Amino acid sequence: MQLSAEDWSAIGLTLRLAALTTALLLVLCTPLAWWLAHTRSRWRGPIAAVVALPLVLPPTVLGFYLLVLMGPAGPLGTLTQSLGLGTLPFTFGGLVVGSVAYSLPFAVQPLQRAFESLGARPLEVAATLGAGPVDRFITVVLPLARPGFITAGILSFAHTVGEFGVVLMLGGNIPGVTRVVSVQIYDHVEAMEYAQAHWLAGGMVAFSFIVLLALQWWQPERPRP
């Protein structure tokens, strides 16, 4: 196996980044998706459009503007500096923020569709049986929306593993901190170390395939007509 210690470090970093981003997205996007699914506010359209923006923006554009916004002269950077956190570019935290922004629509949209497809009826029935709102959410909504959660989780994880443009702009390629697999593969190709690039890329494809396959088995059976 031609993977160096640097390659393994990049793989570990990528998996940590993807896992943390997915966890954060599922926590943040559940209330957002719920609101989008049920609200009748006139802000629904604009907010849904903003959520979908990372789908159409080129990742390097997103990464560049995050670099500017999170830098010492930008609004986000001024905020983090005033909180004593320094600036986010070139840190793992900065990558997490960038990844959350980049994968946001991939988490919100499946959840929103799952919540919408529930309809109001199961919740009304549960309410007539005396279940409070939190109880309704945990015992009715979550199990029924499980396919949506699984899809949102898979997509966010996979999308973050494959992230390149945003990391390239924000990361600074620091080994062990911001040098993720996609940047490592790119560096191997640029330096004409094709054998190492093939091993790393092949390994990631194989890993992703196995994970996706395993998650398919986890999906609840769909009712046959």
Partner 1 sequence: MHPAPPPNAARASLTGLMGLAFVACLWAPARADEVSVAVAANFIAPMQQIVAAFERESGHQVTLSSGATGKFYAQITHGAPFHVLLAADDTTPQRLEQEGRAVAGSRFTYAVGRLVLWSAQPGYVDAGGQVLRTGDFAHLAVANPKLAPYGLAAQQTLEKLGVADRLKPRWVMGENIAQTYQFVATGNAPLGFVALSQVMEKGRIARGSAWQVPADMHDPIRQDAVLLNKGQGHAAATALLAYLRSENARAVIRSYGYAF
Q: Which residues bind partner 1 (CB under 8 A)?
A: 64, 67-68, 70-73, 86-87, 89-90, 168-169, 172-174, 186-187, 189-192
Amino acid at 165: G
For helices 92-118 and 59-70, give the axis angle rounded to 10 degrees: 120
Question: In the bound complex, what is the minimum distance in angstroms from residue 54's beta carbon to partner 1?
Answer: 21
Nearer to partner 1, 70 or 123 (CB): 70
Nearer to partner 1, 116 or 187 (CB): 187
CB atoms within 10 A of CB 58: 10
Distance CA 170, CA 26 (A): 23
Whether the Cβ atoms of residue 87 and residue 70 lie closer than 8 Å to each other: yes
Question: In the bound complex, what is the minimum distance in angstroms from residue 192's beta carbon to partner 1?
Answer: 7
Nearer to partner 1, 86 or 162 (CB): 86
- Measured over the CA atoms of residue 202, residue 203, residue 206 and residue 212, the dihedral's sign is negative
Distance CA 6, CA 176 (A): 8
Question: In the bound complex, what is the minimum distance in angstroms from residue 61's beta carbon to partner 1?
Answer: 13
Nearer to partner 1, 174 or 206 (CB): 174
Whether the Cβ atoms of residue 182 and residue 204 lie closer than 8 Å to each other: no
Nearer to partner 1, 161 or 197 (CB): 197
Question: In the bound complex, what is the minimum distance in angstroms from residue 180's beta carbon to partner 1?
Answer: 13
Question: In the bound complex, what is the minimum distance in angstroms from residue 165's beta carbon to partner 1?
Answer: 11
